[in-house]
Amino acid sequence: MSDLFPRAVRATFGRLVPLAFRTRIVGAERIPVDGALLAGNHVSYLDPVLLWCMSPRPVHFMAKSELFGKGFIGWLLPRLWAFPVNRGEPDRTAIVTASELLRSGELVGVFPEGSRRGAETDAAVGAAHGGAAFIALRAGVPIVPIAFVGTDRAMPRGASLPRLVRVTIHVGEPIDLARIAPDAGRKERVAAVTQRMMEEIGALLRSAVGGTR
């Protein structure tokens, strides 16, 4: 599939939408020039949209498979570098797709909590699934923690229309997975990486929310 369409969208829509929300990305220089898994808290449908627009490099988002059968959205998503994942079960096709993208030097965006949760103002993250850690370990790439601040106010759960409030995307330091439980078995290592990933996202979120008060 040609990259012409998504790159044209990034150059037009991708510039206008962040302006509407006065979006800032802090720490964008921390995003590696090679393959990396971008993992963030998830409080709004705007999270992937704004990171897709603001990232210095294209991001391939893993999105729930149900969206790919919904009319215009289903047509649009694969043309904007997204690919489907069946939630609640090991999805070998999604794992292989993500791994191949990462090994080829691309960025893959995921939300380890699996679905949107409440407002980020409590500076907490929910329980994570192990899929993100498994994919990053399989592909041999770092995980970059991401914290979204303000997207829950810009488009809260249940809202049909967004509100034009300020949004900030905070990018943390890449996590070197080679240093995490290197001698442990696969299951234990996935659990250790998942825990570290969520700790880093939580710490970044607490720091970001505290800095906005």
Q: Identify the pLDDT of residue 121.
A: 45
Q: Identify the pLDDT of residue 126.
A: 56
- Domain limits at 21? 4-211
Task: Please report, for the domain that includes residue 85, its CATH number.
Answer: 3.40.1130.10
Say how far apart CA 144 and CA 169 lie, in whole Å: 12
Residues 6+ apart with CB under 8 A from 36: 102, 107, 108, 141, 142, 143, 144, 174
Q: Identify the pLDDT of residue 122.
A: 47
Q: What is the mean pLDDT of each run of 10 residues along the chain (213 residues)?
A: 88 95 96 97 93 97 90 94 87 95 98 64 60 96 97 86 92 96 94 96 89 52
Determine contact, residues 31/59, Cβ cutoff 8 Å.
no
Say how far apart CA 2 and CA 7 lie, in whole Å: 9
Domain count, the chain: 1
| Whole-prediction pTM | 0.90
Q: Identify the pLDDT of residue 101.
A: 98
Say how far apart CA 104 and CA 175 lie, in whole Å: 19
Say how far apart CA 171 and CA 207 lie, in whole Å: 12
Q: Identify the pLDDT of residue 120.
A: 45
Q: Identify the pLDDT of residue 18.
A: 95
Q: Identify the pLDDT of residue 198.
A: 94
Tell which residue, 110, 213, 114, 118, has the closest CA to residue 168: 213
Determine contact, residues 37/141, Cβ cutoff 8 Å.
yes
Burial of 28 (0-12, 13-18, 19+ CB in 10 A): middle
| Token pair 């699996």: residue | 114
Q: What is the pLDDT of residues 94-105, one digit of tens each?
A: 999 999 999 999
Look up residue 140 and give its amino acid: G
The H or E element spanning position 75 is helix 71-76
